[in-house]
Amino acid sequence: MKKTYKIDVDCANCANKMELAAKKTEGVKDATVNFMTLKMTVEFEEGADPQTVMQQVIKNCKKVESDCEIFLK
């Protein structure tokens, strides 16, 4: 399952850090951050709960970029 989330990040380098942090999160099969559109697309592993996984993605992203935001809608 893939889902797209609106994000708020200040620079392309920060977006890259967020993408790497998201990819390392358990339950995430793949993640892509597009700085130009300010969107993050996350593909979840089979059987993973998107809401639970995204809470961990947010924590991991905040570790590498403290002022980033991911809007879960």
pLDDT score, position 69: 96
Cα distances (Å, whole numbers) of residue 11 to 37, 38, 49, 50: 12, 10, 29, 26
pLDDT score, position 31: 98
The token pair that represents 32 in the structure block: 């892509």
Predicted TM-score (pTM) of this structure: 0.94
Q: What is the CATH number of the domain that holds 50?
A: 3.30.70.100
Mean pLDDT by 10 residues, the chain (73 residues): 96 96 98 97 97 97 94 89
pLDDT score, position 67: 92
Number of domains in the chain: 1
- The whole-angstrom separation of Cα 67 and Cα 21 is 14
pLDDT score, position 73: 76
pLDDT score, position 26: 97
Could you list the residue range(s) of the whole structural domain that residue 37 is in?
2-71
pLDDT score, position 60: 97
